[in-house]
Chains A and B, each alone.
Chain A
Amino acid sequence: MKTLKSLLYIVGLPVILLVLWYLATAFGEKNFFVPTPALLAETFVETWTWDRMTTDVFPSLVRLFWGILGSIVIGMVGGLLIGSVRWLRALLEPTMEFFRAIPPTVLIPVLMLLIGIGDDMKVAVIIAGAVWPILLNTIEGVRAMDEVLSDTTHTYGIKGFNRVRYLILPSAMPQIMAGIRQSLSIALILMVISEMFAASSGLGFTIVQFQRSFAIPEMWSGIVLLGIIGVLLSFVFQLVERVVLRWYHGLREIENAA
């Protein structure tokens, strides 16, 4: 009963939107740019065949994966360093604000010249945008370290790598995860945009092709696929977060109850 209820909550709004969409397109004025749900579903199945999956979707997902992984690694390592070393933070913080303000998309032409038009460039574009939330959140997380906990590890002689592993990393983890969550959607957006330049495959490339050839239902089906990828990504994230931050959610629940 409880699972049924929560399932109803999840599918409720999508069903309502689908019905509205159906009513508007089936009975309203026909519009070339807005297909009916049935037509879109049909097109979706026709367009995203296994062939297309392997030539366009999987390469995109691979780039997305490396982009996210790169952002997490660079963001966390950099954040741990900058967060723990005071002079490094003083040195880097103003400059970071500068680079953070630059939209990664304007870097695409430059990156094309520097590292070519291959996958490297696309991964670099994703990282250039998605690394910031993780980096900044990690820095904040490290700085927000509880003083008593820090003193405790000091008195027990826990330092160096063990201090990072047992104290700094876990204590910054709630904030790191919040940063990763933001980065996921940025990475997806940048994946599509990076594929709109000098690409010969990928989701972004395909959708632009459809737009240019006025294959409107096909274009919409691509956009729907992007949305589905976004939902799956957030679902996977929530699973991981539930495991990694089990202690945190439990702690918060108890604190809120008290």
Chain B
Amino acid sequence: MQPDPHSAPAGDHRAAGIPASEPTIPTQEGTEDMTPDQISTEGTVSSQGGVAETPDGLLTVGKTMPDGEAMLAVRNLKKVYHTDGGDIEAVRNLTFDLPQGQLACLVGPSGSGKTTLLKCISGLLAPTAGEVTLHGKKVTGPPKSMAVVFQEYGRSLFPWMRVRDNVELPLKNQGVDKAKRDELVDNALEAVGLAHVPKSYPWQLSGGMQQRVAIARAVAYQPEVLLMDEPFAAVDAQTRADLEDLVRSVWKQLGVSVLFVTHDIDESVYLGERVIILSSSPTVIQQDVLIDLPEERDQLETRSSQRFSELRHHVYEQIQLAKKGFRPEDALAK
């Protein structure tokens, strides 16, 4: 099957059980002139992004922007771990852009190298090949304007510091003066609803509250990009719903770009403006989906809306495909 980006609508491919390579998507050159009317026809899920040619053949890529316009750009990222038992290719080839102020979710089956990817983007791990640029500058170590919220809240907060000191530490380290620091910390604790426990130790709080502290710390740091690595995977479902809304509100208030990694399909659709679906390991982008839900999201209303279930359905199918070992590049190369 020769991939023709302008061929039949997405629904047909899926109904036939054929992995939709890139339905209704413009080619990469056409990406920038995508308009809303092109995207959402009823019942179909529109993808953004395109196909790129690599030495290994064709590859689906996420949505990219013209050079220099994207805030965060990931280009041909590859990560191979060298172990005693041989090389493990965790991430094969990833390309996508994150524009300023966008909330994008990365979702993939478990073991799809999500954490590896995030560590490469945050500069904690050096990629084997390819690069990550922030404002056009190559990321070689953790950039100053980036904050990361980890899944293991219990291990990312300093147990020997009180809540307030935890939030304050990055600012103190940067040499922000006391008055400014107090203001930022107060506002951040207020924003996550923890203004009443500044003197507690993190381990005295519930899991959800601890993760709020970690979010407050990231907020007070005033990053331009906020990376979140399955932040709510370890909290209970009710707390998770609250925290999801918290992320949305913090994102709107601060105008930061958020890259949210999750394995929870509902969560990714509910939170994101865009969901990037990853294949199983070695990871490539399987599809880059535009989430055209209304701006205001509500746990009850949004989740029970028809569009939500369509999108959820689509992402779910794609993840199932990924779990079965479907490789987008194979489908394209045929």
Interface residues of A (CB under 8 A from B): 146-149, 151-152, 154-158, 162, 166-167, 170-171, 173, 247-248, 250-251, 254-255
> Across chains A and B, which 8 residue pairs bring their CB atoms closest together, nearest first?
A156-B170, A148-B155, A170-B160, A247-B160, A155-B148, A155-B142, A152-B156, A251-B203
Of chain A, the residue at the smallest CB distance from B152 is A148
Give 26 CB contacts A-B under 8 Å.
A147-B155, A149-B158, A151-B119, A151-B124, A152-B148, A152-B150, A154-B124, A155-B146, A155-B147, A155-B148, A156-B147, A156-B169, A157-B142, A158-B170, A158-B173, A162-B173, A166-B158, A166-B161, A247-B159, A247-B161, A247-B203, A250-B201, A250-B204, A251-B159, A251-B203, A254-B203
A154–B146 alpha-carbon span in the complex (Å):
11
B221 within 8 A of A: yes
Band of interface residues on B: 20 to 34
Instruction: Specify the chain A residue showing the minimal Cβ separation from B142.
Output: A155
In the bound complex, CA of A247 to CA of B150 (Å): 22
Q: How far is B147's CA from A167's CA once the two chains are assembled, in angstroms?
A: 18
A146-B173 CB under 8 A given contacts A156-B221, A247-B160, A254-B203: no
Cβ of A151 and Cβ of B173 under 8 Å apart? no
Query: CB distance B160 to A151 under 8 Å?
Result: no
Tell me the bound Cα distance from A147 to B119 in angstroms: 12
Interface presence of B95 (CB below 8 A): no
User: What per-residue 1/0 map shows which CB atoms of B118-148 lie under 8 Å from chain A?
Assistant: 0100111000000000000000011010111
Closest beta carbon of chain A to B213's beta carbon, Å: 12
Within 8 A of A (CB), among B217-244: 221
Q: Across the interface, which residues of A come within 8 angstroms of B119, CB to CB?
A: 151
Bound CA span A152–B221, Å: 13
Tell me the B residues contacting A by CB distance below 8 Å: 119, 122-124, 141-142, 144, 146-148, 150, 152, 155-156, 158-161, 169-170, 173-174, 201, 203-204, 221
Complex Cα spacing A139 to B161, Å = 23
- Neighbouring B residues of A254 by C-beta, 8 Å: 203-204
CB within 8 Å for A170 and B158 given contacts A152-B148, A152-B150: yes
What are the residues of chain B within 8 A of A156 when measuring CB–CB? 142, 147, 169-170, 173, 221
Contacts of A173 in B (CB 8 A): 160
Docked-complex contact B201 and A146, CB < 8 angstroms: no
Chain A residues with CB under 8 Å of B146's CB are 155
| A158 contacts across to B, CB distance below 8 A | 169-170, 173
Q: Which residue in chain A gives the minimum CB-CB distance to B122?
A: A155
Q: Which residue of B lies closest to A252 (CB)?
A: B203
Query: Whole-angstrom distance between the alpha carbons of A171 and B155 in the complex?
Result: 11
Contacts of A255 in B (CB 8 A): 203
Supply 19 further A-B pairs (C-beta < 8 A) apart from A157-B144, A250-B204.
Answer: A148-B150, A149-B155, A149-B156, A149-B158, A151-B119, A154-B124, A154-B141, A154-B142, A155-B142, A156-B169, A156-B221, A158-B173, A166-B173, A167-B158, A171-B160, A247-B160, A247-B203, A248-B159, A251-B159
Contacts of B152 in A (CB 8 A): 148
> Which residues of B sit under 8 angstroms from A151, Cβ to Cβ?
119, 124, 148, 150, 156
A247–B173 Cα gap in the complex (Å)? 22
Cβ contacts under 8 Å, A146 to chain B: 155
CA distance A170 to B124 in the complex (A): 22
Q: Do the beta carbons of A248 and B170 come within 8 Å of each other?
A: no
Question: Which residues of chain A come closer than 8 Å to B161, judged between CB atoms?
Answer: 166, 247
Interface-central residue, A154, A156, A167, by most chain B CB under 10 Å: A156
Chain B residues near A250 (CB-CB < 8 A) = 201, 203-204
Q: How far is the CA of A212 from the CA of B152 in the complex (A)?
A: 64
Residues in chain B near residue A154, CB distance under 8 A:
124, 141-142
Q: Once the chains are docked, how many angstroms separate the CA of A49 from the CA of B297?
A: 82
**Minimum distance in angstroms from A61 CB to a CB of chain B:** 32
Contact B201 A247 (CB under 8 A): yes
Q: How many angstroms from the CA of A247 to the CA of B202 in the assembled complex?
A: 10
C-alpha gap A123/B160 in the complex (Å): 34
CB distance from B151 to the nearest CB of A (A): 8
A148 to B150 alpha-carbon distance, docked (Å)? 8
CB distance from B318 to the nearest CB of A (A): 30
Which partner residue on chain B sits nearest A158 by CB separation?
B173
Q: Name the A residues within 8 Å of B142 (CB-CB).
A: 154-157
Q: Return chain B residues, CB-CB under 8 Å to A162.
A: 173
Q: Give the one of A146, A154, A247 with max B CB within 10 A.
A: A247
Q: Which residues of the partner chain A approach B158 to less than 8 Å between Cβ atoms?
A: 149, 166-167, 170
In the complex the two chains form, what is the Cα distance from A250 to B200 in whole Å?
Answer: 11
Contacts of B155 in A (CB 8 A): 146-149
Q: Are B160 and A248 in contact (CB under 8 A)?
A: yes
Q: Which residues of B contact A149 (CB under 8 A)?
A: 155-156, 158
Chain A residues, Cβ within 8 Å of B204: 250, 254
Closest chain-B Cβ to A113's Cβ sits at a distance in Å of 46
Q: Which of B124, B160, B174, B203 is A155 in contact with, Cβ under 8 Å?
A: B124
- The CA-CA distance from A208 to B155 in the complex, in Å, is 54
Knowing A148-B155, A167-B158, A251-B159, the reply to whether A157 touches B203 (Cβ < 8 A) is no
